[in-house]
Amino acid sequence: MANHKSAIKRHRQNLERRARNRFVRSTVRTDVKSVLGTVEAGNAADAKKALSEAVSTISKAASKGVLKKQTASRKIARLSKKVNALNAS
C-alpha cells in the first residue's frame, strides 16, 4: 500500500477510474452483442435501432479514453457493415 499522501490519493483515483472504465467497457460489449443478436435474428429495423445505440456508446467510450479512437472506429465500421448487409438483402 502507498505511504505518501499523494500516492494514497493516486491509488484511490485509480480504483475509481478502473471501476468507471470497466462499466463503460461492459456497456459497449452489451450493446455490440445486442446488435449482433438482432442481425442474427434478421430483424433489420431492430438492428438499425440497436446500431445507433451502440455507435453512441462506443463513441462516448472513445471520447472518455476507455477505447482508442481507431478501435472505436473499427468496431462501428464492422457493425455498420453487418447491419447494412442485412438491409440490402
Task: For each of the domains in the chain, give its residue range(s) and CATH number, in order of start.
Answer: 5-88 (1.20.58.110)
Long-range contacts of 80-87 (CB under 8 A, 24+ apart): 80/51, 80/55, 82/35, 82/36, 82/39, 82/47, 83/35, 83/39, 83/44, 83/47, 83/48, 83/51, 86/39, 86/42, 86/44, 86/47, 87/44, 87/47, 87/48
More confident residue, 2 or 71: 71
Model confidence at 88: pLDDT above 90: no
Average pLDDT over residues 45-66: 96
Average pLDDT over residues 38-66: 95
Could you tell me what percent of the chain has a pLDDT over 90?
93
Model confidence at 55: pLDDT above 70: yes
